[in-house]
Amino acid sequence: MPRLLVVEAGAQPPISNDPVEDWVRPPVSRDDLEARVTVLQSRFDSNRVPTLDSTGTLTFGHHSITVSATQTELMRLLVDRFGDVVHRSEFVQRFALQTLTLNRNALDLHIMRLRRRLLPIELSIRTVWGRGYMLENAVSAEAVPVTNASGV
């Protein structure tokens, strides 16, 4: 949780290595206060990382959803590499070790369904054309255009 500490006049300012903690000394203007809160919230949002447990419960921030067994396998790759590209071939390799085969159309269909499931928890899957997919924070990704599952 981000924290903004108010330090009394003459008191020693706190020393903190926490990126989501800052301090101000009154009097502080409303603009300065809002700017500090915005920066703290931004740092907090950028430090959040999703988690996926063995039962298929995906948690991000204060929200969670459950996903199917197949979706759990797909999400495990995306969660482990949160913010980085997971190449399409890596998804295919993951399923080659199991009895389930995953062709291009099946992968696209699973990704489309996952995108819908992720909407309530502020996560999104972005297509990186010609390479694969990237799981990211939907709130910070709003400025980045999202392509459809076919990469167009």
Per-residue pLDDT tens digits for 91-126: 888 877 665 667 888 889 999 999 999 999 989 999
Q: Does the model's pTM come out above 0.85?
A: no
Beta bridge partners of 58: 52, 65
What pLDDT is recorded for position 99? 57
Helices first, then strands: H and E counts in the chain:
4, 8
Question: Between these two residues, 62 and 107, which has the higher pLDDT value?
Answer: 107
Residue type, 127: T
